[in-house]
Amino acid sequence: MGTAEGRPRVSLREWAGYRFDRTLARSTGTLMGWLVITCLAIVVPVSTLLVWTDPGSPRSLSGRLTAAWRTSAETLRLGAAGGTPLRLVLSALLGLVALLCVSTLVGVITTGLAERLAELSRGRSTVLEQGHVLVLGWSDQVTTVVGELVAAQSPRRPRVIVVLADRDKAEMEQVLTARVGPAVRTRIICRSGPASDPDVLALVSPRAASTVLVLPSTEPTADAGVLRVLLALRAVLGEGADGPPVLAAVRDDRYRAPARLAAGPRGTVLETDLVTARLIAQCVGRPGLSLVLRDLLDFAGDEFHLADATAFQGGPFGETLLGHPNSCVVGLLTPDGRTLLNPPADTVVGPGSRLIVLAHDDDSTRVGDCGHLVDDSVIVAAPSERDGPTRLLLLGWNRRAPLVVRQLRRTARPGSFVDVLTESVVPGPREPDHGTPEYGIPERGTAEDGNREYGPPAGPDVRFRSAALSRPETLLGLDLGPYDGVVVLGPDGGAGPDHPDDWTLVTLLALRLLEERTGREVRVVTELVDDRNRPLAPVNTASDVIVSGLLTGLLMAQIAQNRHLAPLFDELFSAEGSDVCLRPAGTYVRPGAEATFATVVAAARDRGECAIGYRRHDGRTGRADQGIRLNPSKGERHVWSAEDHVVVVAGDRDLPTAPSEPADATDEADAATTSAVRPRHGRPAD
């Protein structure tokens, strides 16, 4: 089709399509008119052609026209097919009105179903469940928490887990299915929306939940978001104390106290950065401890449970250690809610007390005297030697680094020192040119030190130096000879690249190359963000890899399963009190002697410890469990070598006390519990 000079040529098809689009865009009536015209333009001619080509059709013109009308009317459902012209018009009008009404009804139903399906796909429908576990928020720990709750379900009582987060519902379901796997007897329900909105929060029935977990996001304002969610939960549940137990996690200690207030009397608050720092400090000098802690916290094997103590009522706690053939006793839960972890052997088991045991499940513990399995002739009576001073090198810096340094200073022996090598200078102890360590005290609340104060040295010397750690030649030029161990801290998740573990893996690779050059293995404690990078970490068997988000998620799942165990885990991961240790088997039984595990338990009891497992060094490598065996049978026999280790819950009561420091916000943070209340021996847990 031609056009004026200088204008583009438009084809007839393009012009017809343009005119048709303009006609349809005018109004709904225009669209309906065109639909009627189109239907008549097709149905009437085709009906007429069918009649005229039918050998059995009437011979007269009027008869054929009547037959053509009847065929058209039946096709369009226009009612009566014969009669006077007025009757034909009224019948056609009635048929068109009926067709319009039916089409409108179909359209309304279709639109309603589409909107309902869209609402369901957005995850905004109401959840009417009873006794479900409610998970609020989305973070790196969500797959760990949900997976462990699925693993901890009772076969007699299927579990329902509801996840509410401000993410796409289909995306959440896809991630949970890929990471958690198919849940056979557990229903996982995802709902989309901000958990800090009380109206959205009410859709998931928090008052009917058995437990509510609040997870921090990966955003810099994650702790403030947790506080808003707790306040919204308080608005939905009301001020009463009859709501479900609430477990929340924050990263910064500044939000711990407000979060405890918002969580209410049945709330428990974890400070995740402090938990991670304590784990890193505990793993220094204890190779394999991270694997033990991971095994203790997950639900794949044995974990902590509460067992009946009626059979030992009135007797000493020491008798309970050899009173269970298939479980390991580690403490007491008194009737008033106090948690006594590894109490003295002469502690009386009072009426109504319950035992804290390491067992496969909560109903597998059985009572039985194992005293006849103890062989006193192989027990070592000499006391074990105390650890000497340690020399550590810390590589990297992140928001948890000040807490790690402080935990190392609180637990190290006299004469120890820590060299901190970072990419840039950070406030804190520094090394002047003449080599004499000088301790600078930064101003309270500076952003660089993560709102922590170092203060005067309470333990080992801490010396700060800066170097270009991002350059491989710097890492390969390190002298690891003076150090007993190395701690590697990667950057924070939002502080650099999308994969913060990349720098950590490069650093570990450089350390491994240094080991090959010098022929000397160095114990390395590494912090990773993503558990999927654990198999990629090039470390030796004497090293530990801590995935901070994974262990925090496991801890939350354990406390969600039994909130009475929160004080137990708090003391296990604290700098004071009892904790998990790996000690040479020669400390308890003579190397080379064959003895039952009951003999090891009796030897540990004599030293004020509770033995819960061992780590065998049989020369085999590549084992997934690294030779760790928790909660073995008391009758299990082994030939114990000097390289074997026994896993015990022990209190380092002879650890030297650091000089007192001024009471400040930092001391309060370190004394703060990872749970809602920090219990000590003889202090209430709830």
Residue 163: its pLDDT value, please? 92
Contact in structure between 558 and 348 (CB atoms under 8 Å): no
pLDDT (mean) for 540-550: 79
Residue 612: its pLDDT value, please? 92
Percentage of the chain beyond pLDDT 90 is 14
Note the pLDDT tens digit of each residue in 169-221: 888 888 888 877 766 678 888 888 899 999 999 988 898 898 999 998 878 78
| Token pair recorded at residue 579 | 């904790």
**Residue 121 belongs to what H/E stretch?**
helix 85-122
pLDDT (mean) for 586-612: 92
Least confident of 60-74, 164-178, 434-448, 589-603: 434-448
Residue 662: its pLDDT value, please? 36
Residue 664: its pLDDT value, please? 39
pLDDT (mean) for 331-336: 88
pLDDT (mean) for 485-508: 77
Note the pLDDT tens digit of each residue in 82-138: 566 666 666 666 666 666 667 777 887 787 777 767 766 666 778 888 888 999 999
Q: Mean pLDDT for the chain?
A: 77
Residue 679: its pLDDT value, please? 33
Contact in structure between 135 and 164 (CB atoms under 8 Å): yes
Using the CB atoms, write b or e for 555-565: b if 16+ within 10 Å: bbbbbbbbbbb
Which own/partner contact pairs does 37-46 have at CB distance under 8 Å and 24+ positions apart?
Answer: 39/76, 43/72, 43/75, 43/76, 44/68, 44/72
Residue 241: its pLDDT value, please? 61
Contact in structure between 334 and 350 (CB atoms under 8 Å): yes
Note the pLDDT tens digit of each residue in 221-261: 888 999 999 999 989 988 766 788 899 988 888 888 899 88
pLDDT at 603 over 90: yes
Residue 655: its pLDDT value, please? 40
Q: What angle do CA 515, 516, 522 make, to 5 degrees?
A: 20
pLDDT at 598 over 90: yes
Residue 122: its pLDDT value, please? 66
| Token pair recorded at residue 2 | 């031609």
Least confident of 169-178, 201-210, 406-415, 422-431: 422-431
Q: What domains does the chain contain, in order, with CATH numbers?
A: 12-122 (no CATH), 133-265 (3.40.50.720), 391-553 (3.40.50.720)
d(CA 582, CA 593): 19
Q: pTM, whole model, 2 decimals? A: 0.70
What would you measure as the largest C-alpha separation in the chain, in angstroms? 126
Contact in structure between 344 and 333 (CB atoms under 8 Å): no
pLDDT at 431 over 70: no
| Token pair recorded at residue 284 | 């220094």
Note the pLDDT tens digit of each residue in 258-267: 998 888 888 8
Residue 665: its pLDDT value, please? 35
